[in-house]
Amino acid sequence: MLPKYKRILLKLSGEALMGESKNGFDPFNPQIIEQYANDIKRVTDLGVQVALVIGGGNIYRGMNEHDSGIERAHGDYMGMLATMINAMAMQAMLEKIGVFTRLQSAIKMEQIAEPYVRRRAMRHLEKGRVVIFGAGTGNPYFTTDTAGSLRAIEIQADVILKGTRVDGIYTADPEKDPTATRYDEISYQECISKNLKVMDMTAFTLCMENKLPIIVFDMNKPGSLLKVVEGSGIGTLVK
């Protein structure tokens, strides 16, 4: 089957990497990283160009100034470093299974990552390498969802895929409301008017203004990523 999308940006949350583990000293579950890597390989094998943004919420989030006593901006930089740890874990696993990768960081870390250079990233993608964008946008007060939207637009990705633990966007929180139903497709405007939380507002607005479609899908189900890329209609498409 011919893939529907040629170039994708996959956004994975940091928390998803933890699996069931709730222990801060054990931030990722190797089985989950392995499953993600295998799923990514299946789409790169089809010739799809894959860029990746990973969150850091399993290790550190900067927003809790009041609880931590750490100033917001300082904590946000800590959060950006957390995304680099996840990015390196993902990179190691991808390389282990034979996927070529490049890690680009929005904060200079010469020994471990290339600096973010848009045109270079695009060149890597053309050569079939998975490009992992680490350290978010490089700026405090942003999220990795915003980094994902921004990079997706910059590299002219066809779509941003938000891999989560739920299989799409629902009329209400399916964990709280058993009558909630899933949207197959929904417009940006409808998400806003119904106050559906797809991404934070900054990230969402970037997608909307630049007409970048978003697909929310369950990344923890092996094989889902491939189905999404083939255009088989799983998850929720926002456009």
Which residues belong to the annotated binding site for ATP? 11-14, 57, 61, 164, 170, 173
Nearest 10 degrees: Cα torsion 220, 90, 67, 201: -70
Phi, psi angles (nearest 5°) of residue 146? -65, -40
Q: How many residues bind ligand UDP (CB under 6 A)?
A: 25
Pick out residues in 60-119 that bind ligand UDP (CB under 6 A): 61-63, 75-76, 79-80, 82-83
Stretch that binds ligand UDP, among 29-37, 145-153, 201-209, 219-227 (CB under 6 A): 145-153
Task: Report d(CA 12, CA 20) in Å as an integer.
Answer: 16
Stretch that binds ligand UDP, among 24-32, 134-142, 208-216, 224-232 (CB under 6 A): 134-142
Phi, psi angles (nearest 5°) of residue 176? -105, -30
Task: Report d(CA 229, CA 161) in Å as an integer.
Answer: 9
Annotated binding site for UMP: 56, 76, 137-144
Site string (13-52) toward ligand UDP, x via CB under 6 A: xxx-------------------------------------
Task: Report d(CA 21, CA 58) in Å as an integer.
Answer: 10
Task: Report d(CA 89, CA 34) in Å as an integer.
Answer: 10
Nearer to ligand UDP, 100 or 141 (CB): 141
Binding footprint of ligand UDP on the chain (CB under 6 A): 13-15, 55-57, 61-63, 75-76, 79-80, 82-83, 136-137, 139-140, 142-147
